[in-house]
Amino acid sequence: MMIRKVFSFMFVGVIILVFSGVEAGGAELLTLKDCISIALNNNPQIGIARQGYRKAQSGLLLNYGRLMPRMSLSFYTGHRFYGPSSVQFDNQGRPVQRNGFDYEDYTLRFSSDMVLFDGGATINNIRSSMKSRDAAKEDFMYKRDLIAAQVIRAYYNLVRTKMLLHVQEESVELARKNLERSEALQQVGSATRADVLKAKVRYSNTRLDMIKAKNAVEQAKEDLNALLNRREQTEILVDTTMTVDFYEPDLKKEVSFALANRPDLKSLSLSLESAKAGMAAAKSGWYPQLGANFSYSWNDRRMAQNLDFFDNEYMWMITGYLNFNIFDQFATSSNVSRAKADCRIAEYNLEAARLDAVKEIKTIVLNIQQAEERIGVAEETVTQAKEDLKLAEERYRVGAGTMLETIDAQVALAQAKADVIDAKCDYLIARADLARATGRRVYSD
């Protein structure tokens, strides 16, 4: 990235302790870093992404388990009764009494089954789960960056509204003094009633604008509180000090870096690889399945002495099996078709996300360049507006100017100050958006 000469503009405002009649004792001063840290710990969207990652890890463990044999051990006992029967021998080869009989039955069974070959289903399912786990991790990282960028936006929007409220308070004070001066001049015959009426209208309008500014502050607080998940603590005090370091981003390098490092693009790419492995697993239904089984059982009419189930009355068996899927009602063909469709969908999602990322980065770079230019022009305008207001007030004082000129100069100064605040906040927000859009860390631990 080409780094231009760095200009530092320290826009030092007042750290506001009391607004809208709220006592400072019930509020908390939070820096931007504090807000990001709180959001990363409390925001439910991050919690959802974190649990998605843990769920994907569990899915991988499940598929690893299929490489191992399945084992089961059971023991049961009961009382059996045989009624009169023509059967000469029972299932143990022992003679049966024709008039019926009953006895206690004790049975212990152990079995183990292991699939030795399944057409690659287990291996490909493991590969698919690994990619899904990695995709969930990248999605979790992107969600953290996204929430951090949203917090930065909400934080600077709150800073913006509070500083604009401060500007509006200055405008109200100027309008009030202007009204008092015009009324005093009217009493000595140096101002007309029309001048006084214009000053009153200006004073009323500034008070209405201040009501809107206060409401904007409360709305901005709610937006930030929602991201921080602080419903029980609605009052937030922010540091209105803003430091702006200018630099010129290289669009080509930013796009290249984003395509290689942006977490959501990595997640989609890994999801595509997972879908491909899933398609390979689906094709395993066309292959035979080879496995082996071991079983051991013990049965007697009396409980084994000292729990020795290996002395007598037992049976064990080892078997191997080979299963051919001759006809499965088109299940395998259907699974393969769905897996292929999933692969194509994953490819389209990745392609669309890359196009959106490039478009987004271009827009953000333009916003950064525009905000930088706006800051320079707006600061020049503030200087000019201050001088113009000073001259307008002096002309009106000596009778060479009109009240309308003074009001216009006051409006121009307030607008110029607001433009500086808006431009700086927009620039800082755009910088955070660019970091998130290119896959850079928006926050620092």
pLDDT, tens digit (0-9, with 9 covering 90-100), for 251-263: 999 999 999 999 9
Are residue 189 and residue 307 in the same domain, yes or no? Answer: no
Instruction: Tell me the pLDDT band of 19, cut-offs 50, 70 and 90.
Output: very low
CATH of residue 314's domain is: 2.20.200
191-245 pLDDT, tens digit each: 778 888 988 998 999 999 999 999 999 999 999 999 999 876 656 778 787 778 8
Give the total number of structural domains in the chain: 2
* Positions of E strands within 288-349: 289-300, 314-323
For 1-70, give the DSSP string: -PPPPP-EEEE--------TT--GGG-EEE-HHHHHHHHHHH-HHHHHHHHHHHHHHHHHHHHHHTTSPE
In a domain, residue 1? The reply is: no
Q: How far is CA 333 from CA 163, 173, 275, 324, 329, in A?
A: 65, 78, 16, 15, 9
* Residue 186 and residue 248 in one domain: yes
Judge whether 351 lies within some domain: yes
- The confidence score (pLDDT) of residue 177 equals 87
CA 227, 232, 233, 234 torsion-angle sign = positive
| SS3 assignment, position 318 | strand
Q: In terms of domains, do 53 and 177 share one?
A: yes
The average pLDDT across 272-288 equals 94
Would residue 77 be called left, alpha or beta, if left means φ above 0 and alpha means ψ between -120 and 50 degrees? beta
Task: Kindly tell me if the per-residue pLDDT of 3 is higher than 50.
Answer: no
User: Is residue 443 domain-resident?
Assistant: no
One domain, residues 112 and 189: no
Residues 75 and 107 in one domain: yes
Tell me if 2 is assigned to some domain: no
Residues 305-322, mean pLDDT to the nearest whole number: 86
Q: What is the pLDDT of residue 21?
A: 37
- 180 in any annotated domain: yes
Whether 3 maps to a domain, the answer reads: no
Residues 319 and 170 grouped into a single domain = no
In this structure, are residues 155 and 32 in contact, taking their beta carbons and an 8 Å threshold? yes
Structure tokens at 176: 């009030």
* Judgement on whether residues 313 and 424 belong to the same structural domain of the protein: no
d(CA 272, CA 276): 6
Q: Are 85 and 98 in contact (CB under 8 A)?
A: yes
Output the DSSP codes for 90-134: -TTS-B--TT-EEEEEEEEEEEEEEEEE-TTHHHHHHHHHHHHHH
pLDDT computed for residue 444 by the predictor = 67
Interhelix angle 403-438/193-228, nearest 10 degrees: 20
Instruction: Please report the pLDDT score of residue 400 as a whole number.
Output: 77
**What is the pTM for the complete model shown?**
0.79
pLDDT category, 6, cuts 50, 70, 90?
A: very low
Q: Which domain holds residue 80?
A: 70-117+289-323
Q: Are residues 309 and 241 in the same domain?
A: no
- Mean pLDDT for 14-21 is 33
Indicate whether 444 belongs to any domain: no
* Token digits of residue 302: 């009396």
At residue 182 the predicted structure's pLDDT band, cuts being 50, 70 and 90, is: confident
Q: Is the pLDDT of residue 93 over 50?
A: yes
Same domain, 176 and 293: no
Is the residue at 376 inside a domain? yes
Regarding whether 381 and 271 lie in a shared domain, the answer is yes
Residues 85 and 46 in one domain: no
CA-based end-to-end distance of the chain: 24
CATH number at residue 367: 1.20.1600.10
For residues 70 and 112, what is the distance between their CA atoms, to the nearest angstrom? 5
- Span of 27-31, 201-205, 391-395 with lowest mean pLDDT: 27-31
Q: Say yes or no: 184 and 64 in one domain.
A: yes
